[in-house]
Amino acid sequence: DARVTQTPRHKVTEMGQEVTMRCQPILGHNTVFWYRQTMMQGLELLAYFRNRAPLDDSGMPKDRFSAEMPDATLATLKIQPSEPRDSAVYFCASGLTGGGNQPQHFGDGTRLSIL
């Protein structure tokens, strides 16, 4: 079965460091989503790409977060500088456009701890 691949699976670093998370969407999928999951806030949408173009990044703190899709096989989410409150599990999901009637396929996430 095709899967969304996220790397790294775990990341522990000190505050102030740059963090880069990577996602390989399922081949042929043209939408990519970045989510952040915490116990307090649940699953929050950070950014959404269609055909590699950012459509919605209103959920992302712009001063320190950035999301890009350098090509159709790679999406990245960067945090610089990182802060302890960024500790969370970050999920990437991919899917197909289709009037909204398409499921999202999730990776297994990057568990990020900022000390």
Partner 1 sequence: SQQGEEDPQALSIQEGENATMNCSYKTSINNLQWYRQNSGRGLVHLILIRSNEREKHSGRLRVTLDTSKKSSSLLITASRAADTASYFCATVLQSGGGFKTIFGAGTRLFVKA
Contact footprint for partner 1 (CB under 8 A): 4, 33, 35, 42-43, 45, 48, 50, 55-56, 91, 93, 97, 99-101, 103-109
Q: How far is the CB of 37 from partner 1 (least distance, A)?
A: 9
Give me the least distance between CB of 81 and partner 1, in Å please: 27
Query: For partner 1, which is the closer residue by CB, 8 or 16?
Result: 8
Tokens 């990245």 — which residue? 76
Residue 97: how many other CB atoms lie within 10 Å:
12
Task: Provide the minimum distance between the beta carbon of 101 and partner 1 in the complex, in angstroms, as a whole number.
Answer: 6
Q: Which is nearer to partner 1, 107 or 114 (CB)?
A: 107
Q: Residues 22, 74: contact at Cβ < 8 Å?
A: yes
Contacts of 93 (CB under 8 A, 6+ apart): 4, 32, 33, 35, 104, 105, 106, 107
